[in-house]
Structure 1
Amino acid sequence: MIGAVLRAGLDRFERRWNYDAGYMRRILAADRRAGLKLALATGFMNHDFGLPAEVAFAARLRSTRAADCGPCLRLGLAMAAAAGVPAALLRPALQDGAPPPDDRSDIALAIGYTDAVLAGSADAPGFAAEAAARFGPRGQAGLAVAVLAGQTFPLLKRGMGEAASCAPVLRELAAMEDADA
């Protein structure tokens, strides 16, 4: 019965987001208990910890881009749009390089935090302290989970033999920006 409930949930997820969750189905088919645990972990990784949506999505998308999974990046952008986050706010998270040093925005902090955590940089503790000061301990935990979430599914997909680069998605976004200019 649990397997049927999880498969139905995957059906809804795939329809809603136009996303191929085949790797999740393969995990569920191989080990039903593992599929249930993956579903529970997904709920944890989607928890916002009270962070503003644009901050959580900036960190998650920056992390997803670093993991280089186009379908996951597309999914994250669709989820951000559904949460009402304007795409323009997330552009810096998808671009190469860090925000300018004089940018003190919450988005810039999320990007710098993500980059430092992913690089294992000596700057990571400073970013963590700044995140805690700005968003509180709960928000700092939210940023940490957003970075984790951005890496988890791309790496899981790659491990299951289903990797796809972000490059096509980034080219599409650049073309849209050029058309808007």
Structure 2
Amino acid sequence: MIRALLHRGARVFGRRYDYNVDYMHHVIDTSAAAGLALSLLPLVSQYKGPKAARGVWAGALLASTLDGDCGPCAQLVVDFALENRVDENALLAAVEGRLDEAGDVGLGVQFARSAISRSYEPNEFADTIRARFGEQALVAASFAAASGRFYPVFKRGLGSGHACQQIEVLGRVGKVAV
């Protein structure tokens, strides 16, 4: 019964986002417990914090995901961000590495890159996020920076990784600056 529900959820997700969910079905078939665990991961990555800071969340999730790959997972993050009304021009600028033009999305990208860098120096972007948007926004950006790499790495581990691709932002193609 649980497997059937998990498979149904994966199919719905795949159709909604035009996303290949074969790896999800594989995990569910391998272990219902693993499929359930996989279905609960969005509880972490999709904690967005305050609405005013959605761009920061999106930028942190995008940077973390791009650190893992620049294929379908990155496109999915862009689609999530657009669904959450993150500015399309800021997203495109961030995808293309024009962080000075990306506003809050660029701030999120810089925050995540700093967090991922293995530096134990204070993350200078954390203070900016905290001062402008509050502690909840910093928590959301931290979740995003930590979790965005999960799916690309997990998929590669299962042999389902994908090559880089161009990322579309509402029909506008951005050349990924990795």
TM-score normalised by L of structure 2 = 0.83
The more displaced of 82-91 and 120-129 is 120-129
Q: Is the 8 A contact 2:166 2:174 kept in 1?
A: no
SS state at 1:62 partner: helix
Q: Distance in 2 between matches of 1:122 and 1:37?
A: 30
Structure 2 residue corresponding to 1:154, chosen from 152, 155, 174:
152
Q: Distance in 1 between matches of 2:112 and 2:13?
A: 27
Matched, 1:169 2:166: yes
Distance 1:113 1:135 in 2: 14
Greater Cα offset, 113-122 or 78-87: 78-87
Give yes or no for contact 1:67–1:155 (8 Å, CA) kept in 2.
yes
Structure 2 Cα separation of the partners of residues 53 and 154 of structure 1: 22
d(CA) in 1 for partners of 2:133, 2:87? 21
Matched length: 173
C-alpha distance in 1 between matches for 2:47 and 2:141: 11
Distance 1:129 1:2, change over 3 A: same
2:60–2:108 CA contact under 8 A, matched in 1: yes
Is 2:66 the counterpart of 1:65?
yes
* Partner residue in 1 for 2:82: 81
Cα displacement (A) at 1:55: 2.0
Is the Cα contact below 8 Å between 1:59 and 1:93 reproduced in 2? Answer: no
- Report deviation, 1:158: 0.8
User: Kindly tell me: are residues 105 and 163 of structure 1, through their superposed partners in 2, closer, same or farther at Cα, counting changes over 3 Å?
Assistant: same
- 1:27-49 per-position Cα deviation (integer Å, ceiling 9, x unaligned): 11111112112111222321212
**Cα pair 1:67 1:154 within 8 Å, conserved:** yes
Tell me the CA shift for residue 127 of structure 1. 2.4
Question: What 5-or-longer segments of structure 2 have no aligned partner?
Answer: none
**TM-score for both structures, normalised by structure 1:** 0.82
Output the CA distance in 1 between the equivalents of 2:26 and 2:158: 9
Larger helix fraction of residues? 1
Report the RMSD for the aligned CA atoms in angstroms. Answer: 2.6
Provide the rounded CA distance (Å) in 2 between the counterparts of 1:176 and 1:27. Answer: 32
Q: Which runs of 5+ in 1 are unaligned?
A: none
Q: Which amino acid aligns with 2:127?
A: A
